[in-house]
Structure 1
Amino acid sequence: MNGVKSWTVTLVFYFLILAVLIANLDGSSSLFGIIPKRANSSQKPPHLHLQQLGITGSRLLRFFQDNLLEFEGASSLPGDEQPGISLYYDSFKKYLYDAPHGPPRPLECNPDKSIVAKLTKDVQPIPVHSHNDYWRDLPLFQGIAHGAISTEADVWIYPKPTNADTPEDEYILAVGHNEVFLDPVHRTLDGLYTGPLADMLDQVNCVEGHKSGVFYDSPEDTLFFYIDFKSQETHLLYKLLMDKYLKPLMDKGYLTYFDLESKKLVWNQITVILTGDFPKDLGVIDNGENGYYNDNKRYAFQEANILEPTALEPNASVVSTSSLSNLLEKCGYNERSILSQGQMDNSLTKCIKSLISQSHEAGLRTRIWGVPNWPVSFATNLWHQQVENLGVDLLNVDNLDLAQSIF
Structure 2
Amino acid sequence: MLHGSLNGIFSFVEVFRCINYLLGLSTSCPTLETWASPNNTTHFGFVPNTTPVQCHSHNDYWHRNPLYDALSAGCVGIEADVWLFQNELFVGHNTNELTLNRTFRSLYVDPLLTLLNQLVVEESDKKLECSLRGLFEGDHCQSLVLLVDYKNHGPSIHPFVKEQLSPLREKSYLTYFNGTEVVRGPITVVATGNAPFDLLTANSTHRDIFFDAPLARLYEDPSENIGQGVVGTTSTSHFDITNSYYASTNFRKAIGTPWRGRFSEKQIQLLRGQVRGAKRRGLKPRYWGVPSWPVGLRNTVWETLIREGVDMLAGDDLMGMATGTWWDSES
- The TM-score normalised by the length of structure 2 is 0.75
2:105 maps to a residue whose letter is: D
Q: Identify the residue that residue 259 of structure 2 maps to in structure 1.
A: 339
Contact 1:304–1:312, Cα closer than 8 Å, also in 2 = no
Task: Name the counterpart of 1:364.
Answer: 283
In the alignment, which residue of structure 1 is the partner of 2:172? 253
Change (3 A) 1:88 1:280: closer
CA spacing shift, 1:258–1:94, aligned 2, 3 Å: closer
Q: Distance in 1 between matches of 2:183 and 2:59?
A: 27
Answering whether residue 321 of structure 2 is matched by residue 403 of structure 1, we say yes
How far apart in 2 are the matches of 1:355 and 1:86? 39
Amino acid at match of 1:325: R
Counterparts of 2:275 and 2:200 in 1: how far apart (Å)? 26
> Is 2:38–2:102's contact at 8 Å kept on the other side of the alignment?
no
Cα distance, 1:94 vs structure 2: 4.4
Matched, 1:239 2:159: yes
Corresponding residue of 2:78: 151
- Report SS of the residue matched to 1:203: helix
Q: What letter matches 2:185 in structure 1?
A: N
Contact map agreement 1:255 1:299 (CA 8 A) in 2: yes
* Alignment match, 2:5: none
Q: Distance in 2 between matches of 1:122 and 1:242?
A: 30
- Residue pair 2:48, 2:72 contacting (<8 A) in 1 also: no
Native 8 Å contact 1:151 1:225 kept in 2: yes
The one-letter code of the counterpart of 2:68 is F
Deviations 1:63-103 (A, max 9, x none): xx9xx9xxx9xxxxxxxxxx954489676x2436xxxxxxx
Once the 2 structures are TM-superposed, how far is the Cα of residue 218 of structure 1 from its aligned partner? 1.1
Call closer, same or farther: CA 1:182–1:297 in 2, change over 3 Å. same
% identity of equivalent residues: 28
Match of 2:142 in 1: 221
| Residue matched to 1:95 | 43
Distance across 1 between alignment mates of 2:203 and 2:299 = 45
In 2: Cα distance, 1:250 partner to 1:155 partner: 19
SS at match of 2:252: helix
Contact (CA 8 Å) 2:248, 2:286: kept in 1 or not?
yes
Q: What is aligned with 2:112?
A: 197
* Matched residue count: 273
1:348 pairs, out of 267, 271, 278, with 267
Partner residue in 1 for 2:312: 394
Structure 1 residues not aligned, in runs of 5+: 1-64, 73-82, 97-117, 160-170, 291-295, 329-333
CA distance in 2, matches of 1:226, 1:375: 27
Alignment deviations for residues 188-213 of structure 1 (CA, whole Å, 9 cap, x no partner):
11100010001111111231775411
| 1:297 equivalent in structure 2 | 206
The Cα of 1:346 is off from its aligned counterpart by 4.9
Q: Say whether the 8 Å CA contact 1:175–1:189 is kept in structure 2.
A: yes
Q: Secondary structure at the match of 2:314?
A: strand
- Greater Cα radius of gyration, structure 1 or 2: 1
CA contact (8 A) 1:339 1:378 kept: no
CA contact (8 A) 1:322 1:368 kept: yes
Alignment partner, residue 12 of structure 2: none
AA at the equivalent of 2:133: S
Q: Deviations over 1:30-64 (max 9, x none)?
A: xxxxxxxxxxxxxxxxxxxxxxxxxxxxxxxxxxx
The letter of the residue matching 1:320 is A
Deviations 1:104-128 (A, max 9, x none): xxxxxxxxxxxxxx72344221111
| Structure 2 letter corresponding to 1:269 | P
State the one-letter code of the partner of 2:244. S
**More contact order relative to length (CA 8 Å, sep ≥ 6):** 2
Change (3 A) 1:94 1:363: closer
Q: Contact 2:91 / 2:98 at 8 angstroms: preserved in 1?
A: yes
CA gap 1:88/1:190 in 2 versus in 1, 3 angstroms: closer
- Does the CA contact (< 8 Å) of 1:120 and 1:214 recur in 2? no
Residues 155 and 199 from structure 1, CA distance in 2 versus in 1: closer, same or farther, beyond 3 angstroms?
same
**TM-score, normalised relative to structure 1:** 0.62
Q: CA RMSD in A?
A: 2.6
**Residue in structure 1 matched with residue 133 of structure 2 by the alignment:** 212
SS at match of 2:43: helix
Residue 214 of structure 1, CA deviation? 1.3
| Equivalent position amino acid for 1:220 in 2 | C
> 2:35 and 2:176 mapped to 1: Cα distance?
35
Extract unaligned runs of 5+ from structure 2: 1-27, 219-235
Does 1:120 find its partner at 2:43?
no
Q: Secondary structure at the match of 1:151?
A: strand
Superposition pairs for residues 318-333 of structure 1, below 5 Å?
A: 318-328=245-255
Are the aligned partners of 2:239 and 2:281 in contact in 1 as well (CA < 8 Å)? no
How far apart, CA to CA, are the structure 2 residues paired with 1:134 and 1:266? 28
Secondary structure of the residue aligned to 2:310 is: coil
1:158 is displaced (CA, Å) by: 2.1
Structure 2 distance, partners of 1:394, 1:218, is 17
Report what 1:78 is aligned to: none
1:176 aligns with 2:124: no
